[in-house]
Chain A
Amino acid sequence: MRADAPGPPGHKAVLDAADIGRAVTRIAHEILERTRGAEGVVLLGIPTRGVPLAARLAECMRRVEGRPVPAGSVDITMYRDDLRLRPARALGPTDLPPGGIEGRTVVLVDDVLYSGRTVRAALDALNDLGRPRAVRLAVLVDRGHRELPIRADYVGKNLPTSQQEVVRVLLTETDGQDAVLLSQSPPGGPSHRGRRRP
């Protein structure tokens, strides 16, 4: 029942704010369960929208466990495999929590898992930042169509899509509201070029 769901016309809301909240809470619990109370866990969001998601997960885990869980961000722009295909773009922030990632269990957090290329780039970036004990992946939406042998450990919502569709995650911190929208990509290809600015 999402007739009043937010978002521009032509978009179908797949998740609303309450759904996103529940998904984040569930993922937080799953991480706690599998890491025995987030022992040695560092949450690293991939800019742009992975960063607020990582912060929400950390906050949720702190409430449950009663102690802070370190969260930060890792920018992957310089490690992308498609840099040469488009003009150089602005960088996102890389903020490691104090203590770094050496010997920790890093949970990468992103909004949408699609081709897997962003995650591959993030793994390369981590490699230059230290040597984590293990790396896990948490995503709000897994929309399929992987191009690399990568899978998520924690998924908010599996969303079967066609490659013609566009999945758009909106978060209050970056977009003023929480929603996941699905729409058809306009004929003639993408109308927007990616832009990232901290």
Chain B
Amino acid sequence: MNRHLISAADLTRDDALLILDTADELARVADRPIKKLPTLRGRTVVNLFFEDSTRTRISFEAAAKRLSADVINFSVKGSSVTKGESLKDTALTLEAMGADAVVVRHSAAGAPHRLAGWVRGSVVNAGDGGHEHPTQALLDAFTIRRHLGDRSGADGGLDGLKITIVGDVLHSRVARSNVLLLSKLGAEVTLVAPPTLFPVEVSGWPCATGYDLDAALPKSDVVMMLRVQRERMNAAYFPSEREYSRRYGLDGARMALLPEHAVVMHPGPMNRGVEIAAEVADSPRSTIVEQVANGVSVRMAVLYLLLGGQGPASSPDGSQDESQDGSHGESGEDQA
């Protein structure tokens, strides 16, 4: 794994599987009487949020705390950024505080990448503009695997699963990260949106595209609804919310077109009644609440693999072996 997690494209398939497998084990910590592991004791994780966020920030905070890291929450409101401090100066401040990891959300695409050049610790992208949100893609992959893992490849990938991502692809970092990650894990991803909500470069993405939701639903194993990002829309991308909802919203009738086993996902926060009807969001096929819980496990896995060791984890590639090394008492895997 790289030292930073900026883009889902940074992850190899093995890296992604290692994160998901690790998250599987860490998810069980939530069921224990003591929901805490000592692993990141003495490490500092800074949550640097230039954009509003509830679930992602809380999720990262919970993940870091469950691993016993010290967490510093830095939100822009009430900070020197409102006085005009630059990203670089903020980064140097964090550096001086000895941050081992910086979890950053920023409205500008590329901000985490810039930040990675200025700090010694690991940078984890928690959403940068319309660019990427890799941990969301990981938690989505994790959720899909938990529900449909038995329908896909034997090595824990998502091979052969048909995943339809619907809605505001243009403004969605979640869509981009998901396309990159899910396709790497072997899933067949289809994006469905009105023509105005596709980015120009979508033809180069490893996925299919379409404009007709009703045609895509019957052969989908997973349908992921994206939020209509009204705050990023300063032009009219569709005539009215009602028309959008009619053609691209998931209501009960549309949900009935899905195969029996299919699940409905949404990264949140939802616009109930726009991209997803309340009856769908609250139905047993919806994984929306579960996605939030899985987010903590996946982020624990990411923080552990980036910070837990001397350096980032190396994903298994066959070069490593189970055997111990006899000359170092503390390092033999099986040498108690």
Chain A residues near B (Cβ < 8 Å): 46, 48-50, 75, 78-79, 81-94, 110-119, 122, 124, 128-130, 139, 143, 145, 147, 163-169, 174, 185, 189-198
Contacts and interface: CB of A to CB of B under 8 A. Distances in A.
Contacts of A197: 21, 316
A127 to B, nearest CB: 8
Contact of A88 (B21, B28, B305, B330): B305
Contacts of A49: 334
A88 B329 contact: no
10 contacts: A85-B310, A85-B330, A88-B311, A88-B312, A116-B336, A128-B32, A194-B333, A195-B321, A196-B333, A198-B21
A138 B169 CA distance: 57
Given A93-B25, A147-B329, A185-B326, A87 B334 contact: no
A128 B34 contact: yes
A164 B32 contact: no
A124 to B, nearest CB: 7
B306 A88 contact: yes
Contacts of A165: 326
Contacts of B327: 163-164, 185, 189-190
A25 B25 CA distance: 31
A114 B310 CA distance: 23
Given A48-B322, A166-B323, A197-B21, A145 B334 contact: no
Contacts of A164: 326-327
Given A112-B332, A118-B336, 7 more contacts: A87-B310, A113-B335, A118-B334, A128-B37, A192-B322, A195-B333, A197-B316
B312 A194 contact: no
B333 A90 contact: no
Nearest to B35: A128
A91 B334 contact: no
Give chain B's interface residue range (CB within 8 Å of chain A): 35 or more
Contacts of A75: 25
B333 A85 contact: no
Contacts of B316: 90, 195, 197
B306 A194 contact: no
A145 B326 CA distance: 11
A155 B138 CA distance: 44
A115 B314 contact: no
Contacts of B16: none
A91 B320 contact: no
B309 A84 contact: yes
A20 to B, nearest CB: 15
Nearest to B28: A94
Given A84-B310, A93-B25, A110 B330 contact: no
A85 B331 CA distance: 9
Contacts of A83: 39, 308-309
Nearest to A183: B326
Nearest to B307: A88
Given A75-B25, A88-B304, A128-B34, A192 B314 contact: no
Nearest to A100: B33
A168 B336 CA distance: 12
A185 B34 CA distance: 40
Given A110-B336, A128-B32, A195-B322, A90 B22 contact: yes
B261 interface: no
B325 A189 contact: yes
Contacts of A143: 335
Interface centre among B36, B312, B327 (most CB of A within 10 A): B327
A139 B336 contact: yes
Contacts of B325: 166, 185, 189-194
A112 B22 contact: no
B305 A129 contact: no
A196 B329 contact: no
Given A79-B38, A193-B320, A112 B336 contact: yes
A184 B38 CA distance: 35
Contacts of B174: none
A22 B312 CA distance: 42
B324 interface: yes
Contact of A113 (B34, B331, B336): B336
